[in-house]
Structure 1
Amino acid sequence: MLRYTLRQLEVFAAVADHGSIASAAGSLHVSESAVAGALNNLERAFGAQLAIRRKAHGITLTTAGQGVLGRARNLLVDAVDLQLHAGGTDAEVRGSLVLGCYLTLAPTVLARLIEHYGRRYPLVELDFYDGPQSEIHRRLADGQLDVAIAYDLSLPAGLNRQPLFAAEPAVVLSAEHPLAERSELSLADVASEPMILLDVDPSRENTMTMFGAAGLTPSVRFRTTDYEVTRSLVGRGMGYAILVQQPAGELSYEGRPLVVRPLRPAARPVPVSMVWPAALRPSRSVAAMLSLAAELYG
């Protein structure tokens, strides 16, 4: 007979996600003593310490706790699927899903995917997070995201991936820039021009690697972590940018005209993939998202 319960596993996962007993209790709408008691009972059932409690410093999982967490999440996913499907047909996809997306991909990819998913699977409670790639990786590892859209560059170990498409970096210029008259440009053509660098990984890493591989060093005038600020500075003629994702309209946020010119020789395409923790089996809602993404972008 099992000496632990699914509720105890749910509490343990919440403690791991939130980093403290107080925050986990708030998320579960129970008392702190109930959370502490459930965690204590789970540790007794397993005969192992799963977490280290430090006053004012929250909770840190032990090695045993880290090993239990992935398998506990899988059990909880299966349990939720079983409960939901018992009351419906096999064709229904239910449950919840939190989708992550790298911030520069979000404007051109995220809305379309969310719209189609919500229309096709209305019984799934869908939410999303868009942010830096490093934060996407952290939230996937912590279980705060179920699946994410990211550039397939410098991904950490322990992630499965499903390739979606590849995008080619291009030069973005003000329509009044002297080089805007050309139909295509090389890195050598722009290396001495002032650059507006989108200074977030992996965009920065990819851009600097491109120039390094060509034996060139760009002349960076400004650095920004915001995609639209990059395009606005370019629109005012302060420099050019190398960007991978391009909006449908060729205007800056301020309405100033921009031109996009392909690189020749063409730069290496940047792959975009759906990624999720390899240690976790995708729930039906995640599997449905993977299938839809492949349909829309594959």
Structure 2
Amino acid sequence: MSSSNFTLRQVSYLVAVAEHGTLAAAAATLHVSPSAISVALDELERALGVQLTLRRRAHGVRLTPAGRAAVTRGRRLLRDAGELATSLGGASGVVSVGCYPTLAPVVLAPWIAAVHRRHPDTRVEFVEDDQDHLQRRLLDGELDLAVLYDHGLSADLETERVAANVPYLLVARDHPATDLHAVADEPMVLLDLPPSSDHALAVCRELGVTPRIEHRTRSTEMVRALVGLGLGWSVLAQAVPDHDVRVARVPLPAEPLPVVAAWSRAVTRSPVVQAMLDARP
């Protein structure tokens, strides 16, 4: 069937239902009636000649395999259509960006500010998530860009280096350690958030230390709190605020961990995405 047999409105309703799980929730977001969405989905299924959803009263809406594929392509279609409408007069529109949580304050926040200064009509929508989820969302077309560590990335992603973080030993402020071997017999506090955890343990191995992991946390603030209270040491590559007087950083002879902006090779960079890349501080 030709694309003229369905509309962007129908596609947007399908994507909204996939994101919200029920006709009622999608309808509330779109300010239409659930019956209008149901009719639009019926029309879209007839136009495409395939069943996209399973709709059962009181059980919400489930996507068929064809429906999941249609949602992925539909998101790209809606984004491209929006950029066509908004970017002809310059770098304006919406950029959907994902970011590894520990990189958001130090890399993404200044980047958003730079985009706002150069392109006030561009809006950056961002989400923080772990590296594996961000990669999947890029490849599924849910995100335009993601800020990630260049560690274990899919070959289906294209990258551009934006920064590099140098690993360091984190100890309590009054700890006498001058290298990793000085803490080898003490407990470790591990930032258990791949790839940071993988990289920290690799640094330990390269420097000949087998850590005894006492605590695991997904929060850098919790790492700093535990280390500052003398409950262990850690290896981080993330910046520590200068005002955090609880801890001290000890340089390590380890290679920097590159930080990259990544996007799917299957998606052509739009003008608004390119404008964001060009605005990087």
**TM-score, length of structure 1 as denominator length:** 0.81
Are residues 1:235 and 2:228 paired? yes
Are residues 1:206 and 2:199 paired? yes
Cα distance in 1, alignment partners of residues 143 and 229 from structure 2: 38
Once the two structures are superposed, the pairs formed by residues 244-263 of structure 1 within 5 Å of their partners are 244-247=237-240, 249=242, 251-252=243-244, 255-256=245-246, 258-263=247-252
Once the two structures are superposed, the pairs formed by residues 182-197 of structure 1 within 5 Å of their partners are 182=178, 185=179, 187-197=180-190
| Matched AA of 1:51 | T
> 1:287 pairs with 260, 274, 280, which one?
274
Unaligned residue ranges in structure 2 (runs of 5+): none
| Matched AA of 2:174 | E
Cα distance in 2, alignment partners of residues 25 and 37 from structure 1: 12
Query: Aligned residue for 1:165?
Result: 163
**What is the CA-CA distance between 1:167 and the residue it aligns to?**
1.8
Where 2:163 maps in the other structure, the secondary structure is: strand
Once the two structures are superposed, the pairs formed by residues 1-298 of structure 1 within 5 Å of their partners are 2-85=4-87, 89=89, 92-137=90-135, 139-140=137-138, 144-156=142-154, 158-179=156-177, 182=178, 185=179, 187-212=180-205, 216-247=209-240, 249=242, 251-252=243-244, 255-256=245-246, 258-264=247-253, 266=254, 268-293=255-280, 296=281
Task: Answer whether contact 2:161 2:258 (CA < 8 A) is retained.
Answer: yes
Unaligned residue ranges in structure 1 (runs of 5+): none
Cα distance in 2, alignment partners of residues 74 and 64 from structure 1: 16
| Matched AA of 2:121 | L
Where 1:281 maps in the other structure, the secondary structure is: coil
| Matched AA of 2:258 | P
Structure 1, residues 217-263: CA drift from partner, whole Å, max 9, x if none? Answer: 202222222111211222232221101012351x42xx43x322222
Where 1:178 maps in the other structure, the secondary structure is: coil
| Matched AA of 1:280 | V
Query: Quick one: structure 1 residues 284 and 57, their matched pair in 2 at CA, closer, same or farther if it must change by over 3 Å?
Result: farther
Cα distance in 1, alignment partners of residues 59 and 160 from structure 2: 37
Query: Quick one: structure 1 residues 227 and 56, their matched pair in 2 at CA, closer, same or farther if it must change by over 3 Å?
Result: farther
Cα distance in 2, alignment partners of residues 85 and 68 from structure 1: 25
Where 1:34 maps in the other structure, the secondary structure is: helix
Cα distance in 2, alignment partners of residues 161 and 101 from structure 1: 14
Query: Quick one: structure 1 residues 116 and 151, their matched pair in 2 at CA, closer, same or farther if it must change by over 3 Å?
Result: same
**What is the CA-CA distance between 1:47 and the residue it aligns to?**
0.8
Where 2:147 maps in the other structure, the secondary structure is: strand
Query: Quick one: structure 1 residues 78 and 135, their matched pair in 2 at CA, closer, same or farther if it must change by over 3 Å?
Result: closer
* Identical-pair percentage: 42
Task: Answer whether contact 2:75 2:142 (CA < 8 A) is retained.
Answer: no
Task: Answer whether contact 2:164 2:259 (CA < 8 A) is retained.
Answer: yes
Where 1:148 maps in the other structure, the secondary structure is: strand
Cα distance in 2, alignment partners of residues 171 and 52 from structure 1: 53
Task: Answer whether contact 1:16 1:142 (CA < 8 A) is retained.
Answer: no
Structure 1, residues 48-91: CA drift from partner, whole Å, max 9, x if none? Answer: 122333555543433333433343333323322232246xx3xx
**TM-score, length of structure 2 as denominator length:** 0.86
Cα distance in 1, alignment partners of residues 140 and 6 from structure 2: 23
Query: Quick one: structure 1 residues 57 and 134, their matched pair in 2 at CA, closer, same or farther if it must change by over 3 Å?
Result: farther
**What is the CA-CA distance between 1:39 and the residue it aligns to?**
1.3
Cα distance in 2, alignment partners of residues 247 and 216 from structure 1: 23
Task: Answer whether contact 1:118 1:124 (CA < 8 A) is retained.
Answer: yes
CA RMSD of aligned residues (A): 2.6
Structure 1, residues 91-122: CA drift from partner, whole Å, max 9, x if none? Answer: x2222223222111112112211111111111
Task: Answer whether contact 1:17 1:142 (CA < 8 A) is retained.
Answer: no
Query: Quick one: structure 1 residues 97 and 135, their matched pair in 2 at CA, closer, same or farther if it must change by over 3 Å?
Result: same
**What is the CA-CA distance between 1:150 and the residue it aligns to?**
1.5
**What is the CA-CA distance between 1:271 and the residue it aligns to?**
2.2
